Structures are given as C-alpha cells and as structure tokens.
Structure 1
Amino acid sequence: MRIEVTRSGGFAGLTRHAALDTADRPDAGHLHALAEAALSPSGTNRAPYPDGYSYTITTGTGTIHCVDGDLTPAQRELIAAVLGEGA
C-alpha cells in the first residue's frame, strides 16, 4: 500500500509531501490499520487556525483532509510515520 501525506500551512506557509510504500516493511500490518482508522472522519471538521498545519492523507482506498487540533490519534501517528517527524 502506498500512503501519501501532504502538510501545508504553518508559520512559514511551506508545503511538505512524503510517501511511504508498505510492501516490504515489517510494520505493514500496523500501518494498514492506522491508514484505515485515519481515513475515518473525526466528525468535527474544524477550519485551520492561523499558523496551523493542514494535512491531506491519501491511500489506495481514499483521501481525507484534516487540520491541527482536530487530528485523531491514528492520523497523528500515521502522519508522523510518513513524514518522519512529529505531527
């Protein structure tokens, strides 16, 4: 499975994009479970706040847009895994 994350916004307004292919990873099952949970809407749909980040998470099964302050634990963990840094 290919998982892509795009982060935009923040104080500098920069965009960062990264992709992760889970095919040969020992943690593939965990990442697939995170991706499935991350694509479930959190229900609040907050608007981005000034200097906050907006995220787009895309997998083979769908895409979701989310923002700082409204991330679920699964979204936060998946974003950190794909971008290689904390969300």
Structure 2
Amino acid sequence: MLITVTRSGGFAGYEKLRALNTSGRADAAELEDLAQRAVAPLADGYHYRITVDDEVLDLQDSCLSDAQRALIRTVLDEGA
C-alpha cells in the first residue's frame, strides 16, 4: 500500500510531501490499518464544506478547530 501525506501551511508556508510504501515492512499491517481508519468517513459525523470567496475547505466534524466550529455554528444558525 502506498500512503502519501502532504503538509502545508504553518508560519513559513512550506509544503512537505512524503510517501511511504508499506510493502515488506514489519509494521505493514499496523500502518495499513491506520491508513484505512484515517480515510474512512465517520458514521455519525458531519462533513462540512466552507467556501470563502474562491477558497474551498472540506472538513470532518472531528477535525474542526475552535474557529471553524464557531464560524459554522454562526453561519448555520444565522445565515440565509
């Protein structure tokens, strides 16, 4: 299984891209299980798409920051 992670943002705005092939690794089964659980949608969780002008962000309920929660709550409660 090939697992790829991209991290971007932060203070300097750098992007880091790394890939890991689990073939032949002693911990392959554990990594593959983690990968499957990481990409599986939450059965009872909400999914959100926030669009601000031309920027689009897709999020799962379990990954929201406090600012994102506050924004979502306000827009859903007060938006048209």
Name structure 1 gaps, 5 residues minimum. Answer: 48-64, 72-87
Q: What is the CA–CA distance in structure 2 between the aligned matches of 1:66 and 1:28, rounded to whole Å?
A: 28
Partner amino acid, structure 1, of 2:63: D
**1:27 Cα deviation (Å)?**
0.3
Distance 1:70 1:46, change over 3 A: farther
Say how many residue pairs are matched: 53
Larger radius of gyration: 2
**1:70 Cα deviation (Å)?**
1.5
Distance 1:46 1:14, change over 3 A: farther
The equivalent of 1:37 in structure 2 is 37
Name structure 2 gaps, 5 residues minimum. Answer: 50-57, 65-80
- Structure number with higher relative contact order (C-alpha < 8 Å, ≥ 6 residues apart): 1
Partner amino acid, structure 2, of 1:29: A
**1:66 Cα deviation (Å)?**
6.0
Once superposed, what is the RMSD of the aligned Cα atoms? Answer: 2.7
Residues 1:70 and 2:63 aligned together: yes
Distance 1:5 1:37, change over 3 A: same
**1:41 Cα deviation (Å)?**
3.0
**1:4 Cα deviation (Å)?**
0.3
1:18-33 matches, cutoff 5 A = 18-33=18-33
The equivalent of 1:12 in structure 2 is 12
TM-score under structure 2 length normalisation: 0.53
TM-score under structure 1 length normalisation: 0.49
Percent pairwise identity:
45
